[in-house]
Structure 1
């Protein structure tokens, strides 16, 4: 029977492996990897347990699957077609098709009513609350991203807000106080990620003791 120390070491290795494995995956397909119910469980767990300043829990998430997922990237394509020069649109359209080729998309929002309420309640921290909210949302994005990859999906993080905000809110009846921050298309990986380079850690980290 394994002792507590070896179990802890195993859990630590699994966590580090998950952190290392999380990458931006752009080549994805609609092939089902896990059930839709499992996707909901994974996202729900992340939303519940990701920390937030003052336990404000201001992050909001919308999961789009199937036709709803495809509709999002159709909306985005139409929006971009109106502003991207015609001679440059082909590459943009190809990128939209690659996202639409996936299984689903997670939309990340922040509820501005919650943030504004904290600003009123704690005025001395008013300037910080939007920053802290974005930091918490970034953690949520990371947790969901890593969790989806553990389930066998590939994902990437996109930012077509605020261009698509109004159409997204109208299409899915999103509350006006929810501010769209990011979009995460995901699906079964059909190609590995490219090589990743790292800057020297001594340029990015300092230790004093």
Structure 2
């Protein structure tokens, strides 16, 4: 089946081997990321997704925060070295997008639409997930690789303090991106019969 959109999402993969060998400027990529998030759907058109885009020293600073924090969880020197190497591999990329949800927007919706109050935090997770996926795919169309990480909440306080992030922004994920230095491993799939039901 030939479908351009489907082809793009089939090609988008988790890429761990990243570097800074990128032709696009930070300004170009910033515009791409902002436009992609702006066009991503959200419940009640709440537009609750927020993002902080880090390049260069700021990008590296974030992964150094994570590396330092994770060292406190390491059980031995081998584990500490492996963790440090992993964080350094992320820092080797070009940039990182910190995805947040603005909880003041969620709380306002809960107040105004009390019937659905318990659903709005769930729908906010849907919104950020769609923004993350759309942005990841948009970066892929530019020939860039990325991987989605989740080191929240262990660095939340440092992030908020370092970049003066509003307290009502809740960190949900980190998308690190850069040039593709090694292809992704082969992806396997479970059988359709295990995942889908079709009735006509």
Answer yes or no: is 1:68 the counterpart of 2:75: no
Larger radius of gyration: 1
Residue 126 of structure 1 aligns to a residue whose secondary structure is helix
Answer yes or no: is 1:96 the counterpart of 2:87: yes
What is the TM-score when the length of structure 2 is the normalising length? 0.97
Structure 2 unaligned spans of 5+:
none
Q: Runs of 4 or more off by more than 6 Å in structure 1? A: none
Answer yes or no: is 1:134 the counterpart of 2:134: no
Alignment-derived partner of residue 199 in structure 2: 208
Inter-partner Cα distance in structure 1 for 2:12 and 2:140: 6
Q: CA deviation at 1:180?
A: 0.2
Residues 118-146 of structure 1: per-residue CA shift (max 9 Å, x gap): 00111110110000000111000000000
Inter-partner Cα distance in structure 1 for 2:189 and 2:23: 31
RMSD: 1.2
Structure 1 unaligned spans of 5+:
1-8
Q: CA deviation at 1:33?
A: 3.0
Matches within 5 A, 1:1-209: 13-87=3-77, 88-209=79-200
CA contact (8 A) 1:33 1:152 kept: no
Alignment-derived partner of residue 4 in structure 1: none
CA contact (8 A) 1:69 1:104 kept: yes
Inter-partner Cα distance in structure 1 for 2:133 and 2:177: 13
CA contact (8 A) 1:33 1:188 kept: no
Residue 198 of structure 1 aligns to a residue whose secondary structure is coil
Residues 155-183 of structure 1: per-residue CA shift (max 9 Å, x gap): 00000000000001111000000000000
